[in-house]
Amino acid sequence: MDDKQKIEWFDKAVKFQIEGMIFLTMKSRKNGVGSWAIENLKNNKVLNSNMEWEDEVPKSKRDEAYLIRTRFDFDSAMAMYEQYKMFSDELA
How do the pLDDT tens digits run along the chain, 92 residues long? 777 777 666 655 677 788 889 999 988 878 877 899 999 999 999 999 999 999 999 989 999 999 999 999 999 999 999 898 888 765 44
Does residue 60 form part of some domain? yes
Does residue 62 form part of some domain? yes
Does residue 8 form part of some domain? no
Does residue 2 form part of some domain? no
Does residue 92 form part of some domain? no
| Helix, strand, or coil (residue 76) | helix
Q: How many domains does the chain have?
A: 1
> By residue range, what is the domain housing residue 41?
14-87
Does residue 49 form part of some domain? yes
Task: Return the pLDDT at 92.
Answer: 45
| Helix, strand, or coil (residue 69) | helix
Does residue 5 form part of some domain? no
Does residue 40 form part of some domain? yes
